[in-house]
Chains A and B, each alone.
Chain A
Amino acid sequence: QSALTQPRSVSGSPGQSVTISCTGTSSDVGGYDYVSWYQQHPGKAPRLMIYDVNRRPSGVPDRFSGSKSGNTASLTISGLQAEDEADYYCCPYAGSSWVFGGGTKVTVL
């Protein structure tokens, strides 16, 4: 399985927008339209926020959005709120497996 690159941390003030990138290869991010994003608060289980690049499960606020260009996927949080402070992981399909990015800590200033 390949390695994915995410920024270690991003931050923003309440109400601002932040974007997290996830750079892979043509064997994972670039090869399939199956990228998901997970949110994890400390000591808690992960939660699915985005799947199939840009689809939101029911119950996920519409200020979370996903996109992809080439080998890079992105998660954007618009109108940042205090409860959005957490770790975020991208997870693209890599052909008979899934692979997680290293995770990005989002800090709300």
Chain B
Amino acid sequence: EVQVLESGGGLAQPGGSLRLSCAASGFTFSSYAMTWVRQAPGKGLEWVSAISGSGGSTYYADSVKGRFTISRDNSKNTLYLQINSLRAEDTAVYYCAKSLLERLSCMDVWGQGTTVTVSS
């Protein structure tokens, strides 16, 4: 069964850092791009970042560019999102999603999400 499972969320202070992880199973991880999407409490979905299957191409929403870094370890079937200089507006459920293709494409399999709360 194709699955992705996020971890690493929690309570963090403004200005701090967090690294989210997403463990993938049931498919050839390196053959697919991967994406992070977030959802603030009571709000809609926001596309955050994506990375190609090889890891050679990365993409970011303007709202997170310069603070977030997406990466992947294809030997460990794991996707990461490094979040620096945390702000209150980063509080959200962060979803990891498998893309339909190796390149930037829509998201066909989603995890259950990991919650990030930024508060002092």
Contacts and interface: CB of A to CB of B under 8 A. Distances in A.
A48 B45 contact: no
Contacts of B35: 98
A57 interface: yes
Interface string A1-39: 100000000000000000000000000000000101010
Nearest to A102: B44
B68 interface: no
Interface string B83-120: 00000000000010000100011111011110000000
Given A34-B106, A36-B106, A89 B44 contact: yes
Main secondary structure of the interface of B (DSSP, over half): strand
Of residues A1, A46, A47, A52, which shows the largest number of chain B Cβ atoms within 10 Å of its Cβ? A46
Given A91-B45, A96-B104, 15 more contacts: A38-B45, A45-B110, A45-B111, A45-B112, A46-B37, A46-B107, A46-B110, A47-B110, A48-B106, A51-B106, A57-B108, A98-B104, A100-B37, A100-B44, A103-B44
Interface of B: 35, 37, 44-47, 50, 59-62, 95, 100, 104-108, 110-113
Interface of A: 1, 34, 36, 38, 40, 45-48, 51-52, 57, 87, 89, 91, 93, 96-103
12 contacts: A36-B106, A38-B45, A45-B110, A45-B111, A46-B37, A46-B107, A87-B44, A93-B104, A97-B60, A98-B106, A100-B45, A100-B47
